[in-house]
Amino acid sequence: MKQTSAHIPRRDPAQVMRLSRLGSLHQCRLSFMRQLTRRMARENWNFIRPVFDIDENGVGHAVYTAQAPDHAYSLVAFAHDLPPEQRSDRVIAEAWDATFALFDGIPTEQDIQRLSENVPLQEAGRVSENELSLSRANRSVRLWAHVVDRLAAGQQPDLEQIYKVGYLMRTTAVYGSGKFGAADREKTANRPELQAPFQTEMLSVYLTRTFVRDLVQHMARVKGGDQTAELAPEIGQWLGIGNSTGLGMAPFIVNHPVLFNNWIMVREEALAQVRSLPTASDSEAQQFRDIFERCKLSMSWWRSEHPIQIEKLSALNADLSAISDYLDQDDLTRYHPWERLIQWSETTLSEEGQELLASLVLEPYGDLVDGLTECMADGNAQAQIIDGAMTVAQTRALIRDRFDWALSLDWSDEANCARAWYVSEEKLEPRLGERFEEPISDFEQPLAPARDAAAAFAELSNWRDEAPIAEFLLHHPEHRHTIRRAQIGRIAPYGEIHDNTISSSVMPIDMLRAKLSFFGATHFDPRSDRWVRICMYSGAPYPEDLTTETADLWVYPELEE
Amino acid sequence: MNISLNEVEATAKRATRGAGYSWGLAEEAAKATRWLCARGQNGTGALARLLQMVMADAPKQRAPTDLSGDWHSDELLCPLVTGALLSDCAIRVNSSAITMSNVAVPVLLLPFAANAARLLDTRVTIECDGIIAETDGLDLTLNGPIPDQAKHVSVHLGGRLANAVPHHTRAEPSPTDWSTLNRFAQNTYAPATEESRLRGAGAGLSDND
């Protein structure tokens, strides 16, 4: 029996929601990929590949079907022969090495014909209510060539090369939720397997990974003929799927405050519950130690050439050895072991190390925390409706609660509003520009909640306390989005970033990492302050190896005996 | 055209902003348009018609001047501004009907009456020149087509909600309306420049690695 004495509260949003901390988050057992692999194993999903029709140039299509208890989902994959000069991970790209749709059910030949005329065009095509997602991927040119050449020569690829890159292909967009004609989330949100956030997209990527493995084997066989080696499972396991992502994810977490709150709050609640445990059993303590050792191995494969991440990795490596020292001196079973560990981390480690521990201490406690994942979706449409009867004084208090730090900032100082988020007419790519250097402010998106909160707060000071906010809004429609957010804050304490998203020093990659960590991504590799590559499913079992034993902890590599 | 409701919402939001409304009202317009389309009503057509009336230029003249009696203005009332106000003043419907005069594209008031119904957890009836609509926030009944413009509108508690219109998962806007909305949405996009292309997204120049 686990005893929870509920006296450790969730961490304060003012601590958790700083951008530098959000930009230090790590995957954990609540992450969307791990939720999916556990479910697929638990429910014993069946996987088949009814079509694999790819020619010797690597061009053609394939279908991978995942059969869940009540629904089937099929990845329809198109492989292309892409000239290198067209290989770009940007949204503005117009061709890719491979393109995909996740079909709701089992596609007919007519469906595949229709998809073949649209999916390769991505944003320029249309999909239908029968499709749940639309995506594309580009090869990692070097690793692809290495794996094909080695297998074709009858040899296995070099694991060091695989660890360095992590994937054979990286997705450059995975569109769900009604984009480009696909089914709205409402179509599937009540299916148990797709209720949690981004399960559709995670399933699409999981099947994509299998396709990519099969494709590289096929291309090796084309090249090597009879002497070609079969990719060894213990090596293929470390091929994940990459993702290369720009600014599109940053607006997402600002535009979905309730959803983002639910992710953060569930992790914080899980952490608070574990911290509240007065003792841990020997086996729980041992489990933690094992996971930590395995995690260290995975971290040792994490490479980045970006100066900021290099610095963070060096701090993280120092953190890892400090944690090792701590673990040498504490048996982790008595006197609120996890609470002491977390408190120690807050005084000793960098934010990378602190957040790593906050994720890792959840690992021995699946029974305690996994059920919380049911609260990660956003089913509360009513939160968007403004309560116009709220008084001006109450609204002011809500804004002060959430944005106290922003009210004293000098918003006329150029450094505090140096940037502006906008959408380019080029394929509607989200971008971040210099407000005082580029003609973009007329196109600014409402992605600076702190600045807007300060402006609304200042205007509210001219109004009498007891006036209903409805009256204020009638005269100030320009503050309507801000008042809505302030009221949403009542149910979403972790819905607002506690930092300035338009300051001259903002690091958009922090916002990207926060979102990607909840997907379950690893090995964050920034390419700039607003662009990041990551790895997904590296270490995960392929469908034929997916069991309840392999479905959960795959993210942590097994140590060699 | 067969469009997802998410596309309806995203396009309606950009179009409304592109027509000069505030972001907050654009969000309202987006939800309202989606709500109508999800109940088989021509929400995209209604929004396209409204945006072409260029009401955002003088918002004060398109909003009720006095909230104590009948809501009216010297000009036609804008249904987004007035609808948002109706939703914000939902609690008043509990004590007496809200009436208004001379409203443009009054079908756009229905989603806001639906907000009121949800906030009050009750049924709300909205009467536009004799046409009666009822909603509990989720379902909608109509006894005829809502006129393009209404002389008298009354919003009050109650309704039987018999024979609700069926829910729809897709919208089928006319190509003309859809392109009107996209034309307005275009105003929110920054022109493509080489500088923006290079600086704004922050990606590397080559991905052949």
> Percentage of chain A with pLDDT > 70?
99
For residue B206, pLDDT beyond 80: no
Contact between B201 and A425 using a beta-carbon 8 Å cutoff: no
Picking from B67, B81, B203, the nearest residue to A531 by CB comes out as B203
Residue A300 and residue A152 share a domain: no
Domain boundary (A208, A236, A264) is at: A236
Task: Give me the phi and psi of A188, to 5 degrees please.
Answer: -120, -5
Chain A partners of B22 at a C-beta cutoff of 8 Å?
Answer: 477-481
Q: Per the domain annotation, does B200 fall within a domain?
A: no
Q: Per the domain annotation, does A298 fall within a domain?
A: yes
Probe site for chain A from B6, B33, B138 (most A CB atoms < 10 A):
B6
Contact between B169 and A186 using a beta-carbon 8 Å cutoff: yes
- In this prediction, residue B204 carries a pLDDT of 64
Residue A510 and residue A479 share a domain: no
CB A359 within 8 A of CB A298: no
Chain A partners of B204 at a C-beta cutoff of 8 Å?
Answer: 527-528, 531
- Average pLDDT of span A467-491: 97
Q: Per the domain annotation, does A242 fall within a domain?
A: no
Strand order in the sheet with B131-135: B98-104, B149-157, B124-128, B131-135, B140-142
Chain A partners of B25 at a C-beta cutoff of 8 Å?
Answer: 477, 480
- What digits encode the pLDDT tens for the residues B77-86? 999 999 999 9
- What digits encode the pLDDT tens for the residues A310-362? 999 999 999 999 999 999 999 999 999 999 999 999 999 999 999 999 999 99
Domain boundary (A204, A236, A268) is at: A236
Contact between B189 and A389 using a beta-carbon 8 Å cutoff: no
Rg of chain A (C-alpha set)? 24
Q: Per the domain annotation, does A60 fall within a domain?
A: yes
CB B157 within 8 A of CB B182: no
Chain A partners of B192 at a C-beta cutoff of 8 Å?
Answer: 424-426
Q: Per the domain annotation, does A560 fall within a domain?
A: no
- In this prediction, residue B205 carries a pLDDT of 61
Residue A169 and residue A93 share a domain: yes
Pairwise CA distance, residues A127 & A175, whole Å: 11
How crowded is residue A224: how many other Cβ atoms within 10 Å of its Cβ?
A: 18
Q: Report residue A469's pLDDT band, with 50, 70 and 90 as the boundaries.
A: very high
- In this prediction, residue B59 carries a pLDDT of 81
Task: Give me the phi and psi of B69, to 5 degrees please.
Answer: -125, -140
How many domains does chain B divide into?
1
- In this prediction, residue A543 carries a pLDDT of 98
- In this prediction, residue B200 carries a pLDDT of 79
Q: What value does the mean pLDDT of chain A take?
A: 96
User: In Å, how far is B130's CA from the nearest CA of chain A?
Assistant: 28
Tokens 């979905």, residue? Answer: A256
Q: Which domain holds residue A282?
A: 13-27+254-378+502-555
Select the more confidently predicted residue: B57 or A294. Answer: A294
Contact between A141 and B22 using a beta-carbon 8 Å cutoff: no
Query: Strands A167-175 and A240-245: what pairing?
Result: parallel
Give the chain B residue nearest A419 (alpha carbons): B200
Residue A82 and residue A18 share a domain: no
Tokens 């990492």, residue? Answer: A513
User: In Å, how far is A496's CA from the nearest CA of chain B?
Assistant: 17
Q: Per the domain annotation, does A1 fall within a domain?
A: no
- In this prediction, residue A1 carries a pLDDT of 42
CB A528 within 8 A of CB A40: no
Q: Per the domain annotation, does A3 fall within a domain?
A: no
Longest dimension (CA), chain B: 69
- In this prediction, residue A248 carries a pLDDT of 86
Give the chain B residue nearest A473 (alpha carbons): B85
Q: Which domain holds residue B145?
A: 3-165+174-187
How crowded is residue A532: how many other Cβ atoms within 10 Å of its Cβ?
A: 27
- Average pLDDT of span A24-44: 98
CB A199 within 8 A of CB A261: no
For the stretch A333-338, contacts whose Cβ atoms lie closer than 8 Å and that sit 24 or more positions apart, written own/partner, are A333/A279, A333/A280, A333/A281, A333/A282, A333/A284, A333/A285, A334/A279, A335/A278, A335/A279, A336/A8, A336/A275, A336/A276, A336/A277, A336/A278, A336/A279, A337/A277, A337/A279, A337/A280, A337/A285, A338/A274, A338/A275, A338/A277, A338/A280
Residue A351 and residue A261 share a domain: yes
Pairwise CA distance, residues A317 & A323, whole Å: 10
- Average pLDDT of span B15-30: 98
Q: What is the ipTM of this complex?
A: 0.97
- In this prediction, residue B201 carries a pLDDT of 79
Give the chain A residue nearest B187 (alpha carbons): A443
> Percentage of chain A with pLDDT > 90?
94
Q: Per the domain annotation, does B201 fall within a domain?
A: no
How many domains does chain A divide into?
3
Mention every residue, 6+ apart, whose C-beta is less than 8 A from residue A429: A90, A91, A92, A246, A247, A248, A423, B200, B201
For residue A6, pLDDT beyond 70: no
Pairwise CA distance, residues A87 & B172, whole Å: 36
Residue A231 and residue A120 share a domain: yes
For residue A407, pLDDT beyond 60: yes
Task: Give me the phi and psi of A335, to 5 degrees please.
Answer: 55, 60
For residue A189, pLDDT beyond 70: yes
Residue A336 and residue A297 share a domain: yes
Q: Is the dihedral of CA B141, B143, B148, B149 positive or negative?
A: negative
Residue A191 and residue A71 share a domain: yes
Q: Report residue A412's pLDDT band, with 50, 70 and 90 as the boundaries.
A: very high
Residue A529 and residue A431 share a domain: no
Chain A partners of B84 at a C-beta cutoff of 8 Å?
Answer: 386, 473, 477, 480
Contact between B90 and A386 using a beta-carbon 8 Å cutoff: no
Q: Per the domain annotation, does B178 fall within a domain?
A: yes
Probe site for chain A from B1, B2, B4 (most A CB atoms < 10 A):
B4
- In this prediction, residue A25 carries a pLDDT of 98
Tokens 């009216």, residue? Answer: B72
Mention every residue, 6+ apart, whose C-beta is less than 8 A from residue A521: A27, A243, A534, A535, A536
- In this prediction, residue B94 carries a pLDDT of 94
Q: Per the domain annotation, does A7 fall within a domain?
A: no
Residue A199 and residue A60 share a domain: yes
Q: Where are the beta strands (DSSP E) in A176-326?
A: 240-245
For residue A108, pLDDT beyond 90: yes
What's the one-letter identity of residue A469?
Answer: I
Task: Give me the phi and psi of B165, to 5 degrees please.
Answer: -70, 150
Residue A368 and residue A269 share a domain: yes
- In this prediction, residue A359 carries a pLDDT of 98
What's the one-letter identity of residue A343?
Answer: Q
- Average pLDDT of span A118-125: 96
For residue A4, pLDDT beyond 80: no
Contact between B22 and A480 using a beta-carbon 8 Å cutoff: yes
Q: Per the domain annotation, does B206 fall within a domain?
A: no
Residue A409 and residue A333 share a domain: no
Chain B partners of A482 at a C-beta cutoff of 8 Å?
Answer: 24
- Average pLDDT of span B27-44: 98
